[in-house]
Structure 1
């Protein structure tokens, strides 16, 4: 790394720590890397590191919601060599796309859609660490600006790991607690043509929590996450579940195909994340081991230390050591604080 890149990498974590919302997070990251990779707009897409499902999106002068949906569809269906999954699997975290590629280069579907916008050049950065994927940063330049260069791509590639670490730290800083005073679970039913067939009253309440400004957002923005998770549910072998860090706690989206095969429909449930859903996330966010998760589960069931020890064939001293390790990793100070955070 050169000195400018090193300085940008060092400043990312403390700068991101000051962000309190997802939009602030995107703005901070954009400001931090702009001196090295100037851009006119950006999209920051977070993903659930366990399932790979999208869990948030923030943007500035970015594409419209319909374009984001096209991006997500390509990701879920595995279409294109510049998807987040493809970048991670190929071990090359950066890709540059131009709306008008040089002659001789094949124009892909994404570039065809780009040509209908004011975007002239796009630089994608895969944010992954130690085999886990945390998100995708898309930097944009308008047609009037010069395209992203090889130097821009090299600088972005050097920042990929620090950016992924900063994103992980931001998410880990939103301690794993469910939404308090939440409405009952909401249901959205989507048919095989992706038309919304039914939404419960609480479904409307929940989807409004998934966008930055529900009052001004159109239907394509409000239901973007719902459509994406429904598409994932139609793919064999995929877990259609996304844990979403919200300002009031964690939300979970889960989709299941309807039993009637002729309908080809999907039911999407949106609700406050339970401790059972959050505990696997704790493993990747804080390094909570499988044994420590078992200790937490039994504590959530109301078992005392001696009872936990007997159920796991451990000594009470070892159980207390597990609790101390959990407190140290998560930043809580007591069993009561840990359980009150995770409990609905």
Structure 2
């Protein structure tokens, strides 16, 4: 029986990932599936991460409207195991706090905090697409005295991780495209089986005009949009599970745009939603340049520091010497007013990402879509 439950649960999460919806709804739907396979205390804690920096942009934990400030400060300034960026960088992408502490977590401030919330065990799994972009992480907890998380639990989370990542990315983009509070967000076009435009968001014409052969004013959709829509409509016609179709297109201005879409459910008339957005999660780069006047190479060094790379790893990635990396870091520290890597990561998070993190908590409470990335014009501390 168990051999049948696991594939069905993985398939269910994959189906959910292909349905255009907001992120909170997606997390709630996935929680129902996860609970049937991996028993846990309270509810999963879902995090979204900025793929460009691996810094947290939101959390969703049913019943916990505000993430404790002390836990957030410890994540970026504390000295401990099982931090999100550390788990994300592991070969398997899954870790338990008991494993990370050699079976005795009592000296871990993270474990002590979990215990104060009623949880003993903690299992964290990264959410990374098959293309290699990390869009989040999920934490599961068990109360004292409960069975330990086992290999089967970790195997299941590794199996659904890529689907959760794809669904998170899709849900955030869909939410921003449909949110009138985000005028510069992605563009959304809804197309029916007769290739007619049924509806668009305010920013859709901007994105379509950047594609090589599009003219929304005269009802002419770009070839790339039609291709993505055709894939979605084909799945709907064949009665196959909803999947997310992708296309990467070179825009007229030489930048790359990403198109993705999925069939819309619950309507007799087949329709597909196609979303157009910038192809790369690079909002951290102009932020670093404008806020701290970093050089291009200093930006590259900071990005790698944020994602947990060591001096040796940075030197290898940038094909420079470790001494050169240290010199760049010295300059970065002077420009940002910090004295260490940890302080640098903490400053960037609490200046540019924590405002987004807290804004997203309020957006969930108001039923508004969760947004990704840093806040570009946050006031520096």
TM-score by length of structure 2 reads 0.45
Structure with the larger RCO, 1 or 2 (CA within 8 Å, 6+ apart): 2
- In proportion to residue count, which structure has more strand? 1
